[in-house]
Amino acid sequence: MLFHSYYRREWRAAGTVCLGVWLCACGRAPVPSREFLPADDPRAAEMVFVPAGPFRMGSSESAISEIQKSYGGERVLYENEYPERTVDLEAYYIDRHEVTQAEYKHFLDETGREPPFVESVWATPFNWEGRAYPDGLADHPVVLVSYFDALDYCHWARKTLPSEAEWEKAARGVHGSIYPWGEEWDSSRLNSAASWAGRELPTIDIWKEEWWSTIYHNQLRGKIATTKPVGSYPSGASPYGALDMSGNVFEWIDAWYDLYPGSKVTNPEFGQQYRVVRGGDWYLGRIFTRTPARLRAPPDHKVTTIGFRCVCRKADGDD
C-alpha cells in the first residue's frame, strides 16, 4: 500500500491531499525557449527570475535511506524521489508567492466563474459567500480550487502552471538544498504542523499522535483558518526569492503523477489519473515540506490544503 491506513482513511475522509509516489514531467514536450519579461510588464514585479542552467533534481538512494531512518514510515513514502539527476532548464519567471484569495477574486469577477466552495464542515473557514472570499483572508492563498481552476487562472493571467522541474529549481536552487532556505529543518521559517502544535514533530508517529489525532481533530479542524498570509515567512525564501515554497499550502503542478526516468518503482496509481502537488502544507510534518518531496491528488480535488502559483515562459504570455 502507498501509505499507512490512517493517512488513507483520514485524509480521504477530510477531502485532503493523499500521499503517494512521485512524478517527473515524463512525456512532456521540450520546454520552449523563454524571453525576458520587459521591465514595464506588470507581471515582472510580482514574479522572481530563475536563470537558465542545470540543477540537481530528486533525491539519491542514500538520501532516501537517511530520510526514512530519521523520520520513519514506509520507504515507499520517499523512494519515488529517486533517482537524483541533473536537469537543464531555460530561464523563466515564477510567482513570488502563492495566488491569494484577493487575486483570485479578480479572475472570478472578469470571467464569471463559480467561487471556491465545498459543502463540508472542514471547508467552512475557506468557503466563499457569494462572490466574496472569507473575511480576513484576502492575502491568504486561495484554496478549494482544482487543478483545472488553477490552470485556467494562470492562462487568464497570461502565465501557466509550473512543470515539476521548474517548481523544484525555483524552490531549491542549483545546489539542491533540502529546504528552500538550506539543508536543516527550521520550523520558524514556514507554516506547518509544528507551527500549530507549538512543538517539533520529528517523526511520522509523533506527528500522528501529538498533532493529527489530538490537536488537529480536537481543537482546530473546521474551527479556524490555518493558512497564513503569503510572505509571512521571509526567512524561508528560496535562493531566488520565492516565498512559501515549503508549507502553507501545496501547489498544483502541470505534470501527471508518474515515475522519474530510470526508476523501477511500480504502482497502480501511476499514469494519467493524478496530478502532482508540491511544497507541503499547514498540517503536515517536516518531511513533506522538503523541496524534492512529491505528492499527488485527483485533478478535480478541491481541498483546504492545495493552492497554486504560476510561471511565465514567454514575454507575451502566450502558450
The domain spanning residue 74 has which CATH number? 3.90.1580.10
pLDDT for res 36? 65
pLDDT for res 86? 95
Q: How far is CA 198 from the centre of its chain?
A: 23
Cα–Cα distance for residue pair 9/215, rounded to 1 Å: 18
- Which residues are registered as beta bridge partners of 306? 250
* Cis ω before 83 (30° cut-off from 0): yes
Quick check: is 104 in a domain? yes
Quick check: is 132 in a domain? yes
Assign residue 27 a region (left: φ > 0; alpha: ψ between -120 and 50; beta: otherwise). left
Residue pair 3/77 in contact by the 8 Å Cβ criterion: yes
Report, in this order, helix, strand and coil percent for the chain, each rounded to 5: 30, 15, 55
Q: Distances from the Cα of 119 to the Cαs of 7, 14, 58, 94, 107, in angstroms?
A: 22, 12, 37, 32, 22
Quick check: is 286 in a domain? yes
Quick check: is 318 in a domain? no
Q: How far is CA 184 from the centre of its chain?
A: 19
Q: What global pTM score does this model have?
A: 0.87
Determine the Cα angle at 273 with ends 269 and 277, to 5°.
85
Quick check: is 317 in a domain? no
Residues 6+ positions from 184 with CB-CB distance below 8 Å: 178
Q: Which three cell numbers stand for residue 274?
A: 493524478
**Closest by alpha carbon to 48, among 292, 281, 309, 293?**
309
Lay out the sheet containing 47-50: strands in order across. Answer: 47-50, 92-95, 311-312
Domain, as residue range, for 232: 5-312
Q: Which three cell numbers stand for residue 184?
A: 536543516
Cα–Cα distance for residue pair 259/291, rounded to 1 Å: 17
Cell 512559501 sits on residue: 244
Quick check: is 142 in a domain? yes
Cα–Cα distance for residue pair 222/83, rounded to 1 Å: 39
Phi, psi of 254 (to 5 degrees): -85, 70
pLDDT for res 4? 33
Identify residue 36 by its one-letter amino acid code.
F
One digit per residue, pLDDT tens: the chain, 319 residues?
Answer: 233 333 333 333 333 333 332 222 233 233 333 346 776 777 778 999 999 999 999 999 999 999 999 999 988 889 889 999 999 999 999 999 999 999 999 999 999 999 999 999 889 999 999 999 999 999 999 999 999 999 999 999 999 999 999 999 999 999 899 999 999 999 999 999 998 888 999 999 999 998 888 888 777 766 777 899 999 999 999 999 999 999 999 999 999 999 899 888 887 888 899 999 999 999 898 999 999 999 999 999 999 999 999 999 865 544 4
Quick check: is 319 in a domain? no
Quick check: is 134 in a domain? yes
The count of domains in the chain is 1
Cα–Cα distance for residue pair 8/2, rounded to 1 Å: 9
